[in-house]
Structure 1
Amino acid sequence: MSNANHTRVVRTIRGMPTSDGAGVRLTRVIGTSELPDLDPFLMLDEFGTDQPEDYLAGFPSHPHRGFETVTYMLDGRMRHKDNHGNEGLLTPGSVQWMTAGRGLVHSEMPEQESGRMRGFQLWVNLPGREKMTAPRYQEFAPERIPTASPVPGVSVKVIAGQVGEVVGPIVQPATDPLYLDIALQPRVRWHYTLPQGHNAFAYVFEGTAQVGEGADARMLATHELGVLGGGALLQLGAGEHGARLLLVAGRPLREPVARHGPFVMNTREQLMQAFVDYQEGRF
C-alpha cells in the first residue's frame, strides 16, 4: 500500500493556558492565534484539575447563537440549565451535544466542591441555513455510549461516527461528525479509515501516540494536537506507556465565519443582529 493513502500529521499544536467563564482554568487547543479554527471546528478546550479553585466558579449564564457545543466529561459533574427550561447533570463519561441554533442562555456549573474535574468542550459550526434553527440537545449518559474493541489492546468509545459495526449515538447531518475516545495499550497499533473529505485532528490527553506510517510518522506527546491530512488510512501506535486520544473529524462547511465571543454567524450584519436580539431578550 502506498503512503499516498496514509493520513499524516501536517502540523502539531500545543494548547494555551487560559481562563473562561467566571475564572475556570483550562487549556485552549483550537481557537488560538496558532490555530484559530479547523473548519467546521471553532474551538477545543481541555479542562483537567483536582484543584477546586480552578473550576468552582463555573460558567454562569451566557448566551450562544449559530453553532454547537459538545461537552464530554471524563471526571467530575457539571450541571447545565438554560432559559428554555432545560436542565441536566453531566456525570463522568457522559456527553452533551447542544445545538444553540437561533439562541439560548445557559449556565454550566460544577456540582462538586472537591475532587477531579476533567473533560473537553468542542465548538462545531453550523451551516448558514441552520444557524437560526430551534435549540436542541443530544445528551447521553456513559452507558449509552457504545465501546468498540476492534483489535486486542484497543478500546474506542464511539460518541459520533462508526468503528466496525459500532455506531455512535450522536447524529448531525450538516457536518457528519466523527468523535472517538481511543485507548491504546502500550505499543499496540491500530489503523482506521477516516471519512472522505473531512477535516480531522487527533488530540493526545494521556501517554504518547505515533500517527502515520514510515517516514511520515510523527509522535504526539500528551496535550499535543495533530492536524491530519493526506490520505484516509490513519495508522495509530501507542508509546511504551499506552495512549488515550480524541480522534475528531467533520465535513467542512466552507462558509464565511463572522464570530464574536459566543455568537458565530456568516456576516457582520448577522452578528450585530445577534447582539441586539440578545440585549432585547429574544434568545
Structure 2
Amino acid sequence: MKSTRSVIHCIDAVPASDGAGVQLKRIMSQPPHRLMDPFLMLDELKADDNESLGGGFPPHPHRGIETISCMLVGGFRHEDHMGNRREVGNGGMQWMNSGRGVIHSEMPLPEQDRLHGFQVWLNIPRQAKMSDPQYLDVNRADIPEWILPDGKCRVLVGALHNEETQIQAPVVREGTQALMLDVNINTNGRLVLPVTTSKVMIYVYHGSVNVVGNESVIPVNQSSLAVLSESGDLELTASEESGFIVLAGEPLNEPVVQSGPFVMNSDEEIEQAFVDYREGRLVG
C-alpha cells in the first residue's frame, strides 16, 4: 500500500494590510522560516469592493526573492524601474525573479469590483540572489490543467509526474524544485496528487478538505494552511466543492535574514541592500 502524507502543523490566516492600505489575509511570513522553507510568504487578496484595495502597491523594492502572483478573479498591472509595463488578467499569473534588485508597483485591476488572488514569495538560493531580474507572464489559456475524475488541477509552477501523467508549467525552478498548484475538488470527491518533494503545504481558499494520512484523516478548513509530512502521495477528500493551493519544494537549508522586502543570508547583506537602495545602487 502506498504511503500518504499527514498533517503535522496548521496555520490560520490573519487579516493584514499592506501596500497603500490593501486589505488581505496573511497566511505565512517571517519566522519560523524553517517550517516553510523554501517559501517565505503567502498572501491571499480577496475583495468585493474598491475600498478594500486601497491604493494598491505603489513602487517598492525587492532583492533576493522570487514572487509568484496568481489571479483567480481580476488582475493587476505591473510596472518597474526598467520600463516594463505588464498586465496579468483573470486566471493568469506572473513569476518575477527580483535577483539583485527590482523597484516595481502592482496595481489591482478588479473585475466588476471583485478581485481574488495570491502572492507567494519563494526564496532564491544563496549563489543566485544577485542574479539579473527576470519575468514571465502566463495567460490563463497557457496554464496546463489536469482534469481528474473528481476535480481539476492547474499547474502554475513546476511539474507533476506519475506513471500516467506528465504536466509541466511554463515556470520551472530547478534550485528549489518549487511546485504551485491550484486545485478544485468536487463534492464528495477524492484526489491523489503525486507530489514528490519533501516540503508540501496546502492552503484552502474555498470550502474544506480532508487530508487522508495512513493513520489519520485531518480536516483543513477555509483560510487555513496545513504543513504536511515529508513523504508519500497527497490524498484528499471533500464533502463539498472546495478549492486549495498546493505549495511544494525542497528546502534550501540556508540562513534566512528578512527585513521588509529584502531576503538575504546575513545581517550584513541586508544592511548592504538598504544602503544600495538609499544610494540608488540597488538596481544598478
Q: Report the counterpart of residue 204 of structure 1 in structure 2.
A: 204
Which residues of structure 2 form unaligned runs of 5+?
none
Amino acid across the alignment from 2:279: E
Q: Report the counterpart of residue 171 of structure 1 in structure 2.
A: 172
| Kept after mapping to 2: 8 A contact 1:30/1:36 | no
Q: Report the counterpart of residue 135 of structure 2 in structure 1.
A: 137
| Kept after mapping to 1: 8 A contact 2:74/2:111 | no
Task: Give, in whole Å, the separation in 2 of the partners of 1:43 and 1:36.
Answer: 12
Q: 1:77 aligns with which of 75, 78, 97?
A: 75
Listed one character per residue, the Cα deviations across residues 227-255 of structure 1 (whole Å, up to 9, x for unaligned) are 0114221111112x211111110111000
Q: Report the counterpart of residue 159 of structure 1 in structure 2.
A: 156
> How far off is 1:260 after superposition?
0.2
Q: Report the counterpart of residue 186 of structure 2 in structure 1.
A: 185
Q: 1:36 to 1:16 in 2, by over 3 A?
A: farther
Q: 1:119 aligns with which of 107, 117, 120?
A: 117
Task: Give, in whole Å, the separation in 1 of the partners of 2:129 and 2:89.
Answer: 29
Taking the TM superposition and a 5 Å limit, the aligned residue runs for 1:181-260 are 181-196=182-197, 198-213=198-213, 215-239=215-239, 241-260=240-259
1:18 aligned counterpart, secondary structure: strand
2:43 aligned counterpart, secondary structure: strand
Q: 1:280 to 1:230 in 2, by over 3 A?
A: closer
Q: Report the counterpart of residue 62 of structure 1 in structure 2.
A: 60
Listed one character per residue, the Cα deviations across residues 122-170 of structure 1 (whole Å, up to 9, x for unaligned) are 0000011000000000210101101111x31221111123332221111
> How far off is 1:86 after superposition?
1.4
Task: Give, in whole Å, the separation in 2 of the partners of 1:214 and 1:173.
Answer: 30
| Kept after mapping to 2: 8 A contact 1:100/1:136 | yes
> How far off is 1:118 after superposition?
0.7
1:171 aligned counterpart, secondary structure: coil
| Kept after mapping to 1: 8 A contact 2:30/2:258 | no
Question: What TM-score does the superposition give when structure 1 sets the normalisation length?
Answer: 0.94
Question: What TM-score does the superposition give when structure 2 sets the normalisation length?
Answer: 0.93
Amino acid across the alignment from 1:72: C
- How many residue pairs are counted as aligned between the two chains? 278
Amino acid across the alignment from 2:222: T
Task: Give, in whole Å, the separation in 2 of the partners of 1:217 and 1:187.
Answer: 15
1:57 aligned counterpart, secondary structure: coil
| Kept after mapping to 2: 8 A contact 1:77/1:89 | yes
Tell me if 1:146 matches 2:144.
Answer: yes
Q: 1:32 to 1:258 in 2, by over 3 A?
A: closer
Listed one character per residue, the Cα deviations across residues 237-280 of structure 1 (whole Å, up to 9, x for unaligned) are 112x2111111101110000111000000011111110011111
Listed one character per residue, the Cα deviations across residues 35-74 of structure 1 (whole Å, up to 9, x for unaligned) are 7850011100001010211114100000000011110011
Task: Give, in whole Å, the separation in 2 of the partners of 1:146 and 1:167.
Answer: 7
| Kept after mapping to 2: 8 A contact 1:199/1:252 | yes
